[in-house]
Amino acid sequence: MKLWVGLGNPGTKYAGNRHNIGFMALDAIAAAHGFGPWRARFRGETAEGVLSGEKVLLLKPQTFMNLSGESVGEAARFLKIPPADITVFHDEIDLPPARLRLKDGGGHAGHNGLRSIHQHLGEGYRRVRLGVGHPGHKDAVAAYVLHDFAKAEQAWLEDLLRGIAEGAPLLARGDGAGFLNAVALRVNPPRPPRPRPAADTAGPATGASEPPAGAAPPAGPAEALRRLVERFR
């Protein structure tokens, strides 16, 4: 079994926050792939399903962000899931909006949810870093991530979440590159090729027809005069 964790804060007050994009990602996966109903478990909400033959448990901790590790650690210990089989979806201010990156292990970069998970699991789990952009100054970060996505951001957010759901089976079977490609195709679909101009079959611009193959070229003035003299000799 694999454990996929979405980070966020519980309650309707925070539902649309940038900090809750991890919850949104799991909701999109569950809806797209017919996961079972959400139920209270491990101090969080869980839903079970199968992706590419792999059993996956989705977990949204309800402990608030800075205590997320308590929920994740409890689930991992009870189900005996090693960190290598745990993937955490979380907001990332160091990535531009709509960008996504995979990362295996490493530090928490000051993210409170990851910091808490580190305390309970160590650093050997995988992260799906979901770019939400940076407010421009570190003092504005807390207010920025605890505010809802703007209306102007809804289009890319919807595409990103749809891409995550479409690529989820690839991620479940360990195809990280395929997962990233699936998301990229949804967020930045290839442009259709430009139509090529039709071949010009109208002939010369004057509208005159082309001379038949092998025909002599039309005579110039000097040649016409020579022929006329020859006729009267």
Q: Annotated catalytic sites, by residue?
A: 19
Report the side by side order of strands in the sheet with 100-104. 39-41, 44-51, 54-61, 2-6, 86-92, 126-131, 100-104
The CA distance from 43 to 62, in Å, is: 6
C-alpha radius of gyration, the chain, whole number: 32
Token pair in block for residue 119? 């305390």
Token pair in block for residue 118? 């580190």
Handedness of CA 17, 18, 19, 22 (dihedral sign): positive
Q: How many CB atoms lie within 10 A of CB 84?
A: 12
Q: Could you write out the DSSP letters of every residue in 129-163? A: EEE----SSGGGHHHHHTSBPPGGGHHHHHHHHHH
Query: Between helices 154-172 and 21-32, what is the axis angle to 10°?
Result: 60
